[in-house]
Amino acid sequence: MITPPKNRLRLAAALGILVATSYSGAASAACVYKIDNEWNSGATGTITITNSTATPINGWSVNWQYNTNRLTGSWNAKLTGSNPYTATDMGWNGTLQPGQATSFGFQLNKNGGALEQPTLSGSVCGGAGSSASAMSSRSSTPSSIASSSRSSTVSSSASSISNCVQQCNWYGTVYPLCVTTTSGWGYENNRSCISRNTCTSQPSPYGVTACANSSSVVSSSVSSSRSSTPSSISSVVSSSRSSTPSSISSSISSSRSSTPSSISSSSRSSVPAGAVFRVDTTGNITKNGTVFPVRCGNWFGLEGQHEPKNAANNPDGAPMELYVGNMWWANTGRTIQQTMNEIKAQGINVIRLPIAPQTLDPNNPQGRGDIQAGGVLKNHASVRQTNARQAMEDFIKLADQNNLEVIVDIHSCSNYVGWRAGRLDAKPPYADANRESYDFKREGYSCAPVSGAGVVVHEYNEAKWLANLREIAGLSAQLGVDNIIGIDIFNEPWDYTWAEWKALSDKAYQAISAVNPNVLIFVEGVSATAGGVKIPHGSEDLNPNWGENMYGARANPLNIPKDRLVLSPHTYGPSVFVQKQFMDPTQVNCTELEGDEAGNSDCNIVINKAKLSVGWDEHFGYLRDQGFAMVVGEFGGNMDWPAKGSVADRSRWSHITTNVDQQWQQAFVSYMKEKKIQACYWSINPESGDTGGWYLHSHDPDSNPSGWGTWLNFDARKTTLLKDLWGN
């Protein structure tokens, strides 16, 4: 298999806290006040309302007051007052059937005092005078729970449900149930349906055959034994696990049927995980109020790899499988845990994880099965996933146990289209349509309905995208982790104008915040053109890469709170695309050339940091000067380019004999240090055809073509580059 180059252009925390006493009136609901997470200056918590009567509740309100503590925010309820406070339903969560529950969240500042447990009153809380006594076992620094050292007992009232309604109500908007997934948040027959264990899907993505065990959890008793060292977890790979392969340790996989679905569905539908990620007034990202320096790398594969059309197995396929370092069944012994240990030792603390909408579907055939037995997966059996969804979930949980944060990135509208998308409803022709000697053009796939024979449509649109964002926002609570720092809402939206992309970004913020207000919103830029129309980006002599252009935010800023927004431009050097600003100014005939045309004209490349910095400032740097948080989502490259590049590039650019891409990377790191910009390196794994990876690769297209997927040690030059960026 040959992966083509990129185109150019807690619940875990909550389980450690004893729940407050509940209180109920004769004809009212039961209300529970609970602290989910506490740190030195504040806390987050939830208030859960359960209809313990025999008749529906239509509309609710809850009142409470503090002595010293004060609220700083809330979600999933309309909050009025400034102590005392009143929370009322938002309409979509106002009707509670008998036995059904809903929750809303809050964040508070302790104001120098101790954490308080207020009395709740209101229309559904048994009247004034009800009191709560909350006891908690908390640490000042929240931590994740290691699955291998956790035991839990959960009691629930389960029921068998038939005639399940084939749709989910996503916060007031009705979508077909489990569109490309079986883990949608919502309700079926007025019952919670939030994990794939609550619904059984038909082969058709729009139907269900049963809704077994889809009921509210009435009570839970959880005992935990936490390891003080999250990294001391069970091994990812065991040689005896070939009968039940998984990409993550068997202790995680074997418990997945009871975790997370056994935890209260009704409360989890609006309970964020423990960690609170924010941006402070200086543009620094914080976790639970403490500045969190982002040292990040991309680890790709689950968004879809590309098979050649003449592949012996899965021709023209797009398997969703993380590269782990032992592809083509080579038993190198490398595991995901080993790689996490190694990158942590080098300084990485965040992983950007690209996925596609199809990754969220455990039944998608491009995420399942040994390719030697009719499936599509090539990793050795010791680390082979069961399905793409399970691989994603297990990866996030294992990263959490290793104190590694994760940015989940929707990388395309389809695993078959990949980075070419540029928009949610992308359709051919794509940017690679006329690319020379290239076998992965993907002209036979579309994310928009198209006419004509021979095109497979994987329809994607705004509604499905927003549903995916809500689903990803719910992963923290669903998986019991606190390491999802944010969501990169769509990769390189280069085929939108800034105004179009701004409108979509604003909707994404609203969708994510309705489910989890504690994660950050990562927003990329656009490009220089959209639909053939030029997009303003400053000087016409300095082109932006795909995802780099945020020039339009000057006059039309995003409607996303500054403390929730992370701007995430992408930019690359000549190994990905030769821009006209790289041309040697002494070659007059080359000044307006770029790409293959420049190579065919024997143009030289000159990396001039002063010149490039003007473009970076115009495209995105000015926003960092204004105090916005900024994490470059992708930068990197092949430091040996054009050597070790594609056959076509080695031929076209053979006159380039200096390390021009390494020079570009060094110039950009110097610029980011000056601006205090953080970044995610592309990529950790080495299978990116045009950039290579931080790990070196045994593959060589001439001397060792069979070495594809087998990793070597770190590239020392890239290690030096990254440690320079991180300041160590």
**484 contact partners, CB below 8 Å, separation of at least 6:** 273, 396, 405, 406, 407, 408, 472, 475, 476, 519
Distance between CA 156 and CA 626 in Å, rounded? 51
Q: What tokens appear for 693 in the block?
A: 């990876």
Within its chain, how far is the Cα of 533 from the centroid? 30
Number of residues written out for the chain? 728
CA-nearest of 470, 73, 15, 518 to 267 is: 15
Which of the residues 38, 594, 634, 687 is marked catalytic? 634
Q: Please check whether residue 471 is in contact with residue 132, taking contact to mean a CB–CB distance below 8 angstroms.
A: no
**625 contact partners, CB below 8 Å, separation of at least 6:** 675
Which residues pair with residue 187 across a beta bridge?
192
DSSP 135: -
Distance between CA 256 and CA 254 in Å, rounded? 6
Residue with tokens 């060094």: 666
Q: Please check whether residue 56 is in contact with residue 97, taking contact to mean a CB–CB distance below 8 angstroms.
A: yes
Q: Please check whether residue 211 is in contact with residue 193, taking contact to mean a CB–CB distance below 8 angstroms.
A: yes
DSSP 482: S
How many other C-beta atoms are found inside a 10 Å radius of the C-beta of residue 536? 14
Distance between CA 571 and CA 568 in Å, rounded? 10
Which residues pair with residue 30 across a beta bridge?
24, 50
Which residues pair with residue 173 across a beta bridge?
170
Which residues pair with residue 710 across a beta bridge?
326
Distance between CA 201 and CA 317 in Å, rounded? 24
- Confirm whether 492 is a catalytic residue: yes
Distance between CA 653 and CA 634 in Å, rounded? 24
Four-residue CA torsion sign, 379, 383, 384, 388: negative
Q: What tokens appear for 96 in the block?
A: 């509670």
Q: CA 689, 691, 697 angle in degrees (round to 5)? A: 70
DSSP 3-state assignment of 430? coil
Distance between CA 46 and CA 105 in Å, rounded? 4
CA atoms within 13 A on the CB side of 254: 12
Burial (0-12, 13-18, 19+ Cβ within 10 Å), 477: buried
Strand locations in 203-304 (E): 208-212, 219-221, 277-279, 285-287, 290-291, 295-298
C-alpha pair distances (Å), 545 with each of 252, 301, 512, 548: 40, 22, 27, 5
240-270 burial: b if 16+ Cβ within 10 Å, else e: ebeeebbbbbbbbbebbeebbbbbbbbbbbb
DSSP 3-state assignment of 453? coil
Which of the residues 471, 492, 594, 687 is marked catalytic? 492
Distance between CA 16 and CA 142 in Å, rounded? 10
Tell me the catalytic residues. 492, 634
